[in-house]
Structure 1
Amino acid sequence: MPKPRLNWAAEPWSDDEPLECVMVIPETRDTCSFIFRAPSGAWFDYQPGQFVTLDLPVDPSKGPAGNVQRTYTISSSPSRPLSISVTVKAQSTSIGTRWMLDHLRPGMRIKAFGPSGIFSFHRHPASKYLFISAGSGITPMMSMTTWAWDRAQDTDIVFVHAARSPSDIIFREQLEHYAARVPGLQLRLTVEEPEPFQIWHGYQGRLSQIMLGLMAPDYLDREVFCCGPEPFMQAVREMLTSLGYDMGRYHQESFGAPARTEAEVPVIDDVAPDEEARAQVVFASSGVTASCAETDTVLAVAKRSGLNIPSGCTFGLCGTCKIRKTAGEVHMVHNGGISDDDIAEGWILACCSHPMGRIEVEV
């Protein structure tokens, strides 16, 4: 059988040509990487962090009418231009991804469009980077990290990734290989829970302000790139905002609709305390009402009003200052001192809760 020859005279790939699947690599229990080549031997030109749109024949019996188009971040790096890969994770509502995992095999060809997108550290040169990802949001970070590795430059990257368990960390072995050989890549992993009967040396628990400070003490000096589920990215934004980070240096990529141009970037309209806005805290059990700024914490307002709320750490970790809120809304960025169930039932941590308008608490 003749060996395939590299076509050094080939042109860059264009989406007039289909992609041919050449490998399917299992990554975790519900995640696979699909590697594609251009049948003509064309090479791939893109920026690390960009995405490609795949035209998937989820119902071949209906012809083109049965196709769906799905965008996937490219997990490979343009420093390795002879192939391109996407890494997909099955979700309960997946259609296109489910079809890929169940049916896409080497030798099959599919139509693709792109690459596209503006989520790339090529567009934001910096001396230091902080990559923050969760789940399959790791894919653009992997592309950018591989580029930095292949370029053999002295890039300073702190790579923070959150997963359910150690076995759910996509690209773990490859990232550990990189981090073990270059001083400029610091790998910081956190999981919700470790595997039974296995030792876990990384962080455990939801990513928090305290954890972020330990992982990257100089986070204020770093350009931040974030990708993951929207609730995760919102929590990261709230953490950084409350820590005084310059959000003009924050960049994120959405799972749902990656932006092709700056005009398509959605406006982030997070609720945040405003030092000019006035608020009011009604301490119902004590019969005290106090005016304050939205940037004041409920604990600080209580102390100024001569009321005692037991407290400990004062940064949302110990849970000592947990009280029940009976009306109104607060902005709370905690460090694990309260559960989601408690929050759903109306409990807050007074030390890190800021009243947004008028609130009532049982104090």
Structure 2
Amino acid sequence: MSLKNWLEAPASGISAPGRPRLNMVRGVVARVTTPLLPDDYLHLINPLWSARELRGQIIEVRKETADTATLVVKPGWGFDFGYRPGQYIGIGVLIDGRWHWRSYSLTSSPSWNAKLIEITVKAMPEGFLSSHIVNGVPSGTIVRLAAPQGDFALSEPPPSKVLFLTAGSGITPVMAMLRTLDHREEVPDVVHVHSAPTTDDVIFGAELAALHDKHPQFTSHLQLTRSSGKFDLDKLDELYPDWRERETWACGPVAMLDEIEHRWRAEGIVDRLHTERFEIGQAAPVGEGGTVKFAVAGRTVVADGATTLLQAGEGVGVQMPFGCRMGICQTCVVPLVEGHTRDLRSGDVHGPGERIQTCISAAAGDCVVDA
């Protein structure tokens, strides 16, 4: 290992792309303060400074609808503002002494502000963290952040013709794309079909209307499902007959995306379709759980069959890599050394020697993971 790589290694998990000097400084800080944590010193100067993790501070909580709120976050040292519109970040919030993590789409444009980012969160009935964020997290809260990632992003340069199909909170990554095009004054021929139960449920409703009025080449089509039913894809031929020529980005409920993918595949234009799924289908039955040993960290925890290995590890202070926390990005993959685990999406059981995704795998009996 070269001297440069050795110096940077302690901070490699949060390295800033294209900023070698910053990465080396962070790594050096971590080296010289070992075995003490550099964060113990840096936090005294600025709570957003950390040599080992990305942090942020919530500076505003802004209501969008009755069950949706936008968090304006000031990221700390090392955050990469060169993210692509449509990407997501992980955010960790400390609640009752335990860190709770979830991934949310960035709704801000990378060109909007070099010091702030925004995420917009819809409270879900089964979503403990989303409900807390929308209804309870105060301004000033320090959060943990994961670096932006994801392939559901606006292409560069943007296509000459675009179709956005969204529903509910599926509008969030597309809003970042629309804001980016607007800020650049480079809005192409865009049709956006968005579905929501009522006008009060339309996230960013006023902003969509303003964009529609500002840019003649932008069409905002709102489908109010409570009064008009769901949007029928057959209407595309009538309303927007050139839809097959458009590069399409779609985000929304599983059933909606399944229908869109089926239609685009039947038309032979699936290569022009980009989808983002916030839900991963039906979960598998809960397994039996067991004792999980994290070999590298040297820690052990008893976990039930509904708790992911990632959550179980975080509960005992084991820091493992992660990204989307939904089984999509493959960032959390580690080897399974002993025992068996169960994929909570499919129910598949994995054994020793296989590589598993800790964010969607639970213990199926006692096991040892290389983490």
- What band does the TM-score fall into relative to the shorter chain? 0.5 to 0.7
RMSD: 2.6
Matches within 5 A, 1:158-237: 158-194=191-227, 204-237=228-261
The structure 1 residue matched to 2:116, chosen from 83, 93, 100, is: 83
Which structure would you say has the larger Rg? 1
Matched length: 238
The structure 2 residue matched to 1:130, chosen from 148, 151, 163, is: 163
Please tell me whether residue 94 in structure 1 is matched to residue 131 in structure 2. Answer: no
TM-score by length of 1: 0.60
Structure 1: runs of 5 or more not aligned = 1-10, 61-65, 195-203, 265-363
The structure 2 residue matched to 1:111, chosen from 132, 144, 157, is: 144
Q: Give the superposition deviation at 1:93.
A: 0.4
Structure 2: runs of 5 or more not aligned = 1-21, 24-47, 280-325, 334-371
Which whole-Å CA distance do the structure 2 matches of 1:245 and 1:101 have between them?
A: 41
The structure 2 residue matched to 1:149, chosen from 154, 167, 182, is: 182
Structure 1: which amino acid aligns with 2:185?
Answer: A
Q: Report if aligned partners of 2:225, 2:231 keep a CA contact under 8 Å in 1.
A: no
Percent identity (aligned): 28
Q: Report if aligned partners of 1:75, 1:139 keep a CA contact under 8 Å in 2.
A: yes
Deviations 1:215-265 (A, max 9, x none): 4221010011000111111122233344x2501111101103384479x9x
> Match of 1:193, SS?
helix
Structure with greater helix percent: 2
Q: Give the superposition deviation at 1:41.
A: 10
Matches within 5 A, 1:1-363: 16-38=53-75, 44-60=81-97, 66-81=98-113, 82-122=115-155, 125-194=158-227, 204-242=228-266, 244-256=267-279, 257=326, 259-260=328-329
> Match of 1:234, SS?
helix
Which whole-Å CA distance do the structure 2 matches of 1:39 and 1:238 have between them?
A: 42
Which whole-Å CA distance do the structure 2 matches of 1:135 and 1:69 have between them?
A: 21
Q: Report if aligned partners of 2:159, 2:188 keep a CA contact under 8 Å in 1.
A: no
Structure 2: which amino acid aligns with 1:214?
Answer: E
> Match of 2:155, SS?
helix
Which whole-Å CA distance do the structure 2 matches of 1:125 and 1:50 have between them?
A: 15
> Match of 1:23, SS?
strand
Which whole-Å CA distance do the structure 2 matches of 1:258 and 1:89 have between them?
A: 20
TM-score by length of 2: 0.59
Q: Report if aligned partners of 2:187, 2:218 keep a CA contact under 8 Å in 1.
A: no
Structure 2: which amino acid aligns with 1:72?
Answer: Y
Deviations 1:116-146 (A, max 9, x none): 1111122684221101000000001100000
